[in-house]
Chain A
Amino acid sequence: MRDSDRKQYLANIVDAYVHRRMGRRDFLKNAGLLGLGAASFGAGMRRPFGLGSMPFANASEDLRPSEEILKWVKDVSGPFRGTTLKLATESTPPSNAINSQLKKYFEEASGMTVEIEVLPLEQVLQKMTLDIASQLGTYDLYYIDQSWAASVNRDVFDPREQIETKPDLAMPGYDMDDFLPALVDGIAKYEDRWVGVPYDIPIFIMMYRKDIWEEMGFKAPTTLEEYYQQAKAITDAKGPSLYGSTGQMKSGHYSLECDWTAWLWGHGGSIFGSDGKFSGNDERGLEAMEYWTKLWKTMPPGVTGWTWDGQGQSVAQGVAASMMSWGEFFPYFDDPSATKVSGLMEAVRVPVPTRALRTTAETGFGEIPGVGHQGGSSLAVSKNSKNPDAAWIFMQWATSYDTQVLITALGGGTGPTRKSVYDDPRIIANNRVGAGTTRHLNIVRDTIAMDMGSEPDLPQWAEISNDTIPVRLGKYFAGEYGSAKEAMDDIAQAVDKVVAG
């Protein structure tokens, strides 16, 4: 297998070189490194629990931006030297990679200063809305979670227009068509505009403990019902020291809504019907609740107090044997210094839905049903920015092919939003057990293409998804409703009221 991998890398490098996605210098360097990459891959396999994993032994040498791109940045930034750009972003792997490792190269080449304010998600929203409402242009770029796209739609530039109107600022080979089409639809597009370009893509995949599954004689779950049976069997056999499943079910938190949509869509339900009314309380919605309620019994009792942090920890510490959740956690699980399950986890596509997914025609507000719930975000230049052109240069650099490869390699195997990045040799080279692994990325790519579910786009969605729904679902799991039907009916009237304004 190793030999075939090596051939595969070589083929990919050549392909990238031929298609001018990679400069000559980089091509030669990568080709030269091929032997080394394969060797360290082997080492990683032999000692997955080795002390102080060093996934990027020569990282400081290999993983730096291509000279070509930096030269373009330098050439095009002439008029903007000395400009300061501001961006407020959630603390996500891409933003952290740019902020702590890659920004310096851009600053050096462009002569600009990039100030990145790292905040938890809800504070990013707060900063952005204040900026928009006051139209003061304190931030040049916005980090836009997919659930905010509708509300900031008119406050940012459409990148396609920027390319058209500023041909002299357009990055050669930037290639808007390289962004995964499903992500463009699900994250960036609102009505017929692009609200920035897809910037990062956390998405639900199925992650499970291979050792436990093998011990129990199970195969990876293919249907939701099978997943429940397996989770239950594990909890019955090994609880309370090990539970079959886990979740992010903290009342009043966005994460609870994320879990709900996955089960809802997986049972052929949808948040909104084609009439724009809440439909989570229909027959399929209730079926989903019934499923979720019984699956909940297979999870650790603390699950209703956890967001993705507690959920991830429960798997990392060996308290839960599987989770269907954000793929971003997978590289973390493989990090032997942080978790007890390094090398034991396996990623597969999410189980197939119990009933046929609803089509977008059967739902409202552009909702796209799919078990693989996505929580991606886009990056866009603010219309209030005082330096939109300089910001646009930074944005192209930050979302370019080259930068995304570095982000994915440095940022711990986060999912790229560009097709071609998945095949880059530097990404494939990390396809081994250890911190920052990329061995789950093929699953991520498949999930984006085939299983992805996207929340609806409407200006009230931030309120509905962060409050209206998760507060009431929290009440349901705290036992404050008589039945799931009662809870869902209550949500229905509350959501419809918010939508009506």
Chain B
Amino acid sequence: MIVENKTRRRLRIVVAWFVTALFVFPLYFWTTTAFKEAKEIFNVPPSIWSFSPTLRNFEEVFGISFGFLRQQEVLPGGGNFYMAPRLWDSIIVALFSTALAIIISTLAAYSLSRMNFRGRHHFVSWVLSTRMMPPVAVAIPMFFIYKDIGLMDTHLGIIIIHALMNLPLAVLLLKSFFDDIPQEIDESAIVDGASRWLIFRRIVLPMAMGGVAATAVLCFIFSWTEFIFVLTLTQTGLKTVPVVSSSFVTSTGTAWGNMAALGVAAMLPAFVFILLVQKQLVRGLTLGSLKQ
């Protein structure tokens, strides 16, 4: 865009890296925590760069052996047999709830973007307002509904509630992405005799793929990190990472190393998902083809 002089360019690069480093530092520190022995986590002053790394926390959390773990140890938070399946639960829930939310919201966002009908503005505001309900207030009635219809403690139940929670956000974002695609394209297609469905599938959806990917990433993240619904609507059938992490807060102190190890391991699947849609994401963030 604007041509910058050399000093400004350099300044921008330096500041950008510095700011990002500030944001990444807590993650770095948390990651090192996962590789520290308990007593090193609480070193005074905190050991930031130098410590003797151990894989013990990962062994304890996932029940794999690298030779650091004591035999027959009683593990906090329910032990290793408990944790690895929880990562799997998290992945299933996040993937399917994202898919469900995206399917429903692309349909809705398309019609909200392309069809003029009375009360559209109010309709969108209403959709948005459904996100305003505090989760605490939704959790109790959901508990009773879920018990009655048998969705309690099931993957499907959590998938539905997470999709639901993401709908307002997804509809709003997708609508704004669809709005960015010029109406003229639709109109010329209509002249050619294409149906709404065809326009949606062949023209609008592919062109907004980046926006859809960006929305999917956000839906995935919100599901991945959600706490209250999973806590209230599950028992032993499944648990996701945020809820199971809290079981490391025990009556004999918090298992910080274990919690960090699970946290680090849990970062990976989400990060992989982001990488997978990265190409789309970049396009979503640019929507460049439309500028010319």
Which A residues are within 8 Å of any B CB, using their own CB?
Answer: 52-54, 56-57, 59-60, 63, 86, 88, 90-93, 96-97, 99-101, 115-121, 123, 126-127, 130, 134, 136, 138-139, 202, 308-309, 312-313, 316-317, 319, 326, 328-329, 332, 337-340, 375, 410-412, 435
Contact = CB atoms under 8 A, between A and B. Distances in A.
Contacts of A54: 70-71
Interface residues of B, number: 37
Nearest to B56: A337
Interface string B39-79: 10011100000000000000000000000101110111111
A340 B37 CA distance: 12
A91 B82 CA distance: 13
Interface of B: 37-39, 42-44, 68, 70-72, 74-82, 140, 143-144, 147, 152, 231-232, 235-236, 246-254
A313 B75 CA distance: 18
B71 A60 contact: yes
Given A328-B252, A329-B253, A338-B37, A136 B147 contact: yes
Dominant secondary structure at the A interface:
mixed
A56 B74 contact: no
Given A91-B248, A130-B232, A134-B147, A101 B74 contact: yes
Contacts of B253: 308-309, 312-313, 329, 332
Contact of B247 (A86, A120, A127): A120
14 contacts: A54-B70, A59-B71, A60-B71, A93-B74, A93-B251, A96-B76, A99-B79, A116-B78, A134-B144, A313-B253, A316-B42, A317-B39, A332-B252, A339-B38
A88 B70 contact: no
Contacts of B38: 316, 337-339
A326 B79 CA distance: 23
B78 A316 contact: no
A254 to B, nearest CB: 11
Nearest to B147: A136
Contacts of A308: 251-253
A88 B74 contact: no
Contacts of A375: 251
B71 to A, nearest CB: 6
Contacts of A53: 70
B250 A91 contact: yes
Contacts of A329: 252-253
B250 A100 contact: no
A400 B74 CA distance: 19
A60 B71 CA distance: 8
A54 B73 CA distance: 10
B226 to A, nearest CB: 15
A91 B39 contact: no
B42 A313 contact: yes
Nearest to B152: A138
B39 A337 contact: yes
Given A96-B250, A312-B252, A338-B38, A317 B44 contact: yes
